[in-house]
Chains A and B, each alone.
Chain A
Amino acid sequence: MPIIINLDVMMARRKMSLNELSDKVGITISNLSILKTGKAKAIRIETLEAICTALDCQPGDILEYKP
């Protein structure tokens, strides 16, 4: 898939663990893992918004398009 999820990069930059992000965003660790490994088929706007708020970043920092 040409859309790459850079969630782990942002988490490393913010020095945030998966548990911490899960608590802040309010979604389960397993769902965060699905998102992180690129297995997710879709992402809700509200989830993206929550992640951006928790990591203090832009959606473009998490999602990258590589054709």
Chain B
Amino acid sequence: MKKIRTLQILVYITFALFFLQTYAPSLYRGFADGWADSFSSTNDELNAHTPSGPALDAVLQGNIIPGTKNDTLQIGKDYLLRDINVTANIRVVDASGKTPEWLKVCRVLLAFLMIRILLYMASFCNRVIVDIYNGRMFDPQCIKLIRKIGIRLIIYAIADFAYQWTDYIKQTILIHAPLNVINTVTFNWGLLLGAMLIFILAGAFEQGGKLKEEQELTI
């Protein structure tokens, strides 16, 4: 029983750490921006043209650095930097006013979907652990749960990909010349591989279940 509890706690800790790593920086920055904006707006007219609102994490072409030609920059005599990209936290004047409503809705929906999938996966993992320790790992219900984890992992990967695209679309809408945004959207193939491994595991458990049934019905 102690082992089950430890594993269950470990599962929740892992998911919590994943959540913290993925979402906490954005959540904290959103909170900090809101906090700063609430103070600056009450100040005076000095801040009227100061970019405010949520910051955008964008990768820009390096030609904004003085002295750069075709994303190449000579540093002293010894170094030549090529394909320069600048990762920046950009603030745009009236960013929320320029962002289309449909994009905002999409982003909120995708964020909620991803958090919900994470919670589901944590709960399913817990139930699978309990089933394994109670000797019910070959039951069809347990196998179904394992498959559900795999399916949710794929949905999470797709949702994450879509969320990255909404990020990129938002950046292209808000950021104009002289800044050039680079598309860094990538599909998380690691998650897909993980899902495939889970499906293989579910298949092995299914075969194990059949063998167990056969053994039980051998007189």
Chain B interface mostly:
mixed
Interface contact tally, CB-CB below 8 A: 23
Q: Please tell me the size bucket of the interface on B.
A: under 10
A31–B218 alpha-carbon span in the complex (Å): 9
Which residues of B have CB within 8 Å of A32?
Answer: 219
- Which of B213, B214, B217, B219 counts the most A-chain CB atoms under 10 A from its CB? B219
Does A27 touch B at the CB level, under 8 Å?
yes
Does A40 touch B at the CB level, under 8 Å?
yes
A43–B215 alpha-carbon span in the complex (Å): 10
Which residues of A have CB within 8 Å of B218?
Answer: 40-44
A39–B217 alpha-carbon span in the complex (Å): 7
Which residues of A have CB within 8 Å of B217?
Answer: 34, 39-42
Residue of B nearest to A32 (CB): B219
Q: Please tell me the size bucket of the interface on A.
A: 10 to 19
A4–B217 alpha-carbon span in the complex (Å): 16
Residue of A nearest to B214 (CB): A41
Does A47 touch B at the CB level, under 8 Å?
yes
- Which of B213, B214, B217 counts the most A-chain CB atoms under 10 A from its CB? B217
Chain A proximity mask over B27-68: 1 for CB below 8 Å, otherwise 0: 000000000000000000000000000000000000000000
Does A10 touch B at the CB level, under 8 Å?
no
Which residues of B have CB within 8 Å of A39?
Answer: 217
A43–B219 alpha-carbon span in the complex (Å): 5
Chain B proximity mask over A7-48: 1 for CB below 8 Å, otherwise 0: 000000000000000000001000110110001111110010
5 CB-based A-B contacts, threshold 8 Å: A34-B217, A40-B218, A40-B219, A41-B217, A44-B218
User: Which residues of A pack against B, CB within 8 Å?
Assistant: 27, 31-32, 34-35, 39-44, 47
